[in-house]
Amino acid sequence: MKNSLLFLIIILSIFISIINFSNDTFYFISMLVVALTGFYGFFSNIKLWYHKSSHIIVSSLIGIILGGYELLKYGFGWLGVLTGNAPPALNIGIILFGTFSIFILYYEKKTLDKKKSDTLTKE
């Protein structure tokens, strides 16, 4: 399951990165960082039980931060409308990835909590 989550994160982040290649360099590089984090977690052969989970959590946190940044940028862009500027554009791909990242982080936290409680009951 963790490999499929990492693979999904990699595919979505590369797709969004390609979409933002000519529009916004910040999002292009940020989504490449998310993809590289996922690649390392997917292809590394480290025998720690939490290794893939840590890559899922880091990728999700970066996605949540990017989604929040886009919402703030869009909201403050409307302040510019009051001064006569054009309305801001909303990057819906980043917002959707941020929302997706919230659900992934919640799922992964629930999985780790279950694993922790199973470990404590064995002792």
pTM recorded for the entire structure: 0.88
Interatomic CA distance for residues 80 and 88, integer angstroms? 8
Per-residue pLDDT tens digits for 38-96: 999 888 888 887 888 999 999 999 999 999 999 999 999 988 888 877 888 899 999 99
Question: Nearest-CA neighbor of 106 among 39, 54, 60?
Answer: 60
Position 32 scores a pLDDT of 95
pLDDT surpassing 70 at residue 123: no
The three-point CA angle 93-96-97 to 5° equals 85
Q: In whole angstroms, what is the distance from residue 111 CA to residue 121 CA?
A: 16
